[in-house]
Amino acid sequence: MRHYTGLDKMIHSFDQALRSLVPGATSAHRENPAQNLDSPLGVSEARHVAGLMRVNHSGEVCAQALYHGQALTAKLPNVKREMQQAAIEEQDHLAWCEDRLVELDSHTSLLNPVWYGLSFGMGALAGIAGDKYSLGFVAETERQVSLHLVDHISQLPPQDLRSKYILEQMNLDELHHRDTALTAGGVDLALPIRITMTAISKLMTKTSYYI
């Protein structure tokens, strides 16, 4: 098995960041859940849906960064593999959200590099704290993401089945990642950490909707 130097890891991390942040750089491994669906929207409806999908895209950028940071500092090989596999599955979400934004003639958030940097740092710190806390961090993150997705699904225009099917599949995947993390030994995080995560999530949600 090849031994990766510190420089190798830095280059790999930089490549992962670029793939997460540059539009069109990430391809889905699975077929888009909204394939062959037609969802006509009015101008104001399309603008609102674009805002919601931009928030969800930013959330997936954060998820990528969290998993990349945790995989970098995780101690146990099996935990590293779990983080790497989860990041691959989250790439589908990133691509699906980006595709929908293109369809809506909109754009991804200009703040994504900021969210990526913050999330990568938090993920790396969680990995340093220990694998059980790292897995607990994943579980709590996915729980909060699921709550956002359920709320966004409820805000979609009734005829927007394209966005609905994408978000519903994303939610199923997030809940699966949460359950996997808990089964692998994740622990509940302390209340102050959960509150901080919620506050950062709300900041990201409110700004990425518009910017």
Q: Does 60 appear as a known binding residue?
A: yes
What pLDDT sits at residue 128?
Answer: 78
What pLDDT sits at residue 74?
Answer: 64
Percentage of the chain lying above the pLDDT 90 cut: 14
36: left (phi over 0), alpha (psi -120 to 50) or beta: left
Cα separation values, 108 from 22, 57, 135, 200, Å: 10, 7, 28, 19
Q: Does 93 appear as a known binding residue?
A: yes
For the cut 70, the answer to whether the pLDDT of residue 12 exceeds it is no
Q: Does 82 appear as a known binding residue?
A: no
Please, which pLDDT band fits residue 171 given cuts at 50, 70 and 90?
very high
- Distance from C-alpha of 139 to C-alpha of 66, rounded to nearest angstrom: 12
Give the end-to-end CA distance of the chain in Å, rounded to a whole number: 44
Q: Which domains does the chain have, with CATH numbers?
A: 40-208 (1.20.1260.10)
Q: Does 174 appear as a known binding residue?
A: yes
Average of per-residue pLDDT values in the chain: 80
Cα separation values, 168 from 97, 109, 120, 123, Å: 12, 22, 26, 25
